[in-house]
């Protein structure tokens, strides 16, 4: 399913058994990226799984150094003027500790995490396998 909203309100709680996202979250502003992580946990069924790709830091390459140290407005200008991008491309890093904290606070558990260096993007990313925990028993 495709959602073009800033959240997943079009989908009910516990609606999906599996979610998969590759090279999407990295282009969102950090507050929106974090909001989507919470929404993923909301729409997953208890026991459901999400496989999520998330960038964590630029590599120590020439282009990675630009991502690390150049001011955002300069990066956007260079993307338009020098690289001829039709629209600037945002890259957002989310440390693993923050990713795990959001997932845990939203009722999930990171069951696997694999770091991946991506020379074509000049970023280090992580593949996360996240499981939504069953609701705690009451009584």
71-99 average pLDDT score: 90
If residue 1 lies in a helix (H) or strand (E), which one and from where to where?
none
Q: What is the pLDDT of residue 6?
A: 77
d(C-alpha 8, C-alpha 17), whole Å: 15
> Looking at the DSSP assignment, which residues form a beta bridge with residue 129?
51, 112
Quick check: helix, strand or coil at residue 126?
Answer: strand
Q: What is the distance between the terminal CA atoms of the chain, rounded to a whole angstrom? A: 37
Q: Tell me which residue of 25, 21, 13 sits closest to 107, measured CA to CA.
A: 13
Q: Where are the alpha helices (DSSP H) in 1-139?
A: 30-43, 62-69, 72-81, 96-105
Q: What is the pLDDT of residue 139?
A: 64
Q: What is the pLDDT of residue 130?
A: 98
Tens digits of residue pLDDT in 98-109: 999 999 999 999
- Considering only 27-31, 112-116, 135-139, which range has the smallest mean pLDDT? 135-139
Q: Are 42 and 13 in contact (CB under 8 A)?
A: yes
Find where tokens 């069953």 sit.
Answer: 134
Distances, alpha carbon 75 to alpha carbons 13, 59, 81, 83, 120, in Å? 38, 16, 10, 10, 17
Query: Would you say residue 91 has pLDDT above 70?
Result: yes
Q: What is the pLDDT of residue 110?
A: 98
Share of the chain above pLDDT 70, in %: 96
> Looking at the DSSP assignment, which residues form a beta bridge with residue 113?
128
Query: Would you say residue 137 has pLDDT above 90?
Result: no
Tens digits of residue pLDDT in 109-133: 999 999 999 999 899 999 999 999 9
75-103 average pLDDT score: 91
| Phi, psi of 113, deg, nearest 5 | -150, 125
| CATH entry 3.40.50.150 includes domain 16-132 | yes
Q: Where are the domains positioned within the chain?
A: 16-132
Query: Would you say residue 20 has pLDDT above 80?
Result: yes
């Amino acid at each position: 399913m495709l959602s073009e909203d800033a959240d997943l309100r079009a989908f009910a709680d516990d609606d999906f058994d599996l979610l998969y996202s590759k090279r999407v979250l990295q282009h969102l502003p950090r507050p929106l990226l974090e909001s989507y992580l919470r929404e993923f946990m909301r729409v997953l069924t208890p026991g459901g799984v999400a496989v999520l790709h998330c960038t964590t830091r630029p590599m120590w390459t020439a282009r990675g150094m630009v991502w690390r140290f150049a001011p955002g407005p300069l990066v956007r200008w260079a993307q338009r003027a020098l690289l001829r991008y039709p629209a600037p491309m945002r890259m957002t890093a989310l440390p693993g500790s923050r990713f795990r904290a959001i997932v845990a606070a939203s009722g999930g558990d990171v069951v696997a995490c694999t770091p991946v260096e991506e020379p074509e993007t000049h970023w280090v990313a992580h593949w996360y396998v996240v499981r939504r925990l069953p609701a705690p028993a009451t009584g």
